[in-house]
Amino acid sequence: MLEVKGVNSFYGKAHVLNDMNFEVAAGTVVALLGRNGAGKTTTMKSIMQMVRPRSGSIIYKGHDITTWPSHKVARNGLGYVPEERRIFTQLTVLENLEVGRQPPRDGCTTWTDEMVFDLFPNLAERRNNRGKALSGGEQQMLTIARTLMGNPAFILLDEPSEGIAPVIVEQMARVILQLKSEGLTVLLSEQNLHFAQAVADGVVIIEHGTQKFVGTLSDLQAQPDIRDQYLSV
C-alpha cells in the first residue's frame, strides 16, 4: 500500500535520512523503531511531504506522491498523527475535530464526532473544553481522533505512547488493534519494542537515519542482539 523507495532527506545541509527503503502492506501495522534522533519523525514527515525528500520516492496506492503538497497527501487518505501532541490548544475538542474533518472517502470508515467519542470516551465529557485544559493522555487521544475525522485509509502514528500514563498506553494499544481490525493500515514509531510488540506485524529499525533491520516482529524477536544494539530499553 505504501512504498518508501531510496528516500534521502535533509534539513539544510544536514543529511538526516539515508536511503530509506521499506513497504507497508494494506491492513498491517508496521513499527518504525529507533532511538531519539534516529530519524523516525523525519521519515513520517517525508511520507507526508512536510519534509521534501531530496531523492527517492514515496509510492502510495500506486501513485508517486513525492511532489504533492501535504494537504493533497492528506486528502488522499494518509492521516498523520504528530508527536508531542500538536493539538490546537486555543480550540475546543469539538473544534479540533472540525479542523480534521474531510469528506467521506470510498472504502474508508466515515467518522463522526460521536463515533470518535465512542472510541475515546474521555474526550466525550470534555468536548467543549479547550485543548490546553486537557491532560497529556487526553491530548494524545485528541491528536488521533482529529486525524481519524479525515477518514484515512492509512495512519502515521508518531510515538503515541511517549510520556503518557501506562493505563492510557494500554487503551491506545486496544484502539490501534481495533482500527486495524476495521481495515486501517498503520505505520507507528516508537523508541523501544515495549508498546510496538503488542500491536505490530512488521518492524523497521533505523539508526542515524540509516535502515538497520526490516522484517517481521517474530524475526526480530529471534535476534535479541539486534534489538539490544539499536533500541533503548
Partner 1 sequence: MGLFIAQILTGLANAGALFMVASGLSLIFGVTRVVNFAHGSFYMLGAYVGYSLMQVLPGMVGFWGAILLAGIIVGLIGVIVEICVLRPVYSAPELFQLVATFGVILVIQDLALMIWGPQDLLGPRAPGLKGVIRIMGEPVPQYDIALIVITPFVAFALWYLITKTRIGTLVRAATQDREMVSALGVNQAWLFTGVFFLGCALAGLGGALQLPKGGADLLMDFTILGSVFVVVVIGGMGSLPGAYLAAVIISVLNVFGVTYAPQSTLVLMFLVMVVVLMFRPFGLLGKEEVAGEHGQVGEPERPIKPAGNRIRLLVAAGLLILGLLPLYSGNFAVVLVTDILIFCLFAASLHFMLGQGGLVSFGHAAFFGGGAYAAALFVTYADTPMELALVLAPICAGLAAIVIGWVCLRSTGVYFAMLTLAFGQLLWSLAFQWGDVTGGDDGLVNIWPSDWASDNSVYYYIAFFLCTGGILLLRQAAHAPFGYAMRAARDSARQAEAMGINTKRIQLVAFTFAGIMAGLAGGLFVFSKGSIFPNELETARSFDALIVVFLGGVKTLSGGWVGAAFFEGIKDYLTRFEYWRFALGLSIIVVVILGPEGIVGSLRKAGERFGLLKVPEDAK
Contact window for ligand ADP (CB under 6 A) among 31-39, 109-117, 126-134, 192-200: 31-39
Shortest Å, Cβ 100 to partner 1 = 5
Contact window for ligand ADP (CB under 6 A) among 20-28, 40-48, 89-97, 173-181: 40-48
> Burial of 41 by CB count in 10 Å (0-12 exposed, 13-18 middle, 19+ buried)?
buried
- Could you say which of 80, 117, 154, 195 contacts partner 1 (CB under 8 A)? 80
Sheet-wide strand order for 55-60 = 63-64, 55-60, 2-11, 14-24, 210-216, 202-207, 29-33, 185-190, 154-158, 78-81
How many residues in the chain?
233
Shortest Å, Cβ 114 to Mg ion = 32
- Other C-beta atoms lying within 10 Å of the C-beta of residue 190: 25
Read off the amino acid at residue 55. Answer: S
Contact window for partner 1 (CB under 8 A) among 33-41, 63-71, 190-198, 223-231: 63-71
Instruction: Kindly state whether residue 52 participates in binding partner 1, applying the rule CB under 8 A.
Output: no
Shortest Å, Cβ 22 to partner 1 = 21
Query: Residue 105 to residues 5, 62, 110, 184: CA-CA distances in angstroms?
Result: 26, 17, 7, 13
Instruction: Kindly state whether residue 9 participates in binding ligand ADP, applying the rule CB under 6 A.
Output: no
Q: Residue 119 or residue 155: which is nearer to partner 1 going by CB?
A: 155
Q: Residue 32 or residue 141: which is nearer to Mg ion going by CB?
A: 32
Q: Residue 69 or residue 163: which is nearer to partner 1 going by CB?
A: 69
- Specify whether the CB–CB gap between 17 and 208 falls below 8 A: no
Which residues make up the interface to ligand ADP (CB under 6 A)?
11, 14, 16, 34, 36-42
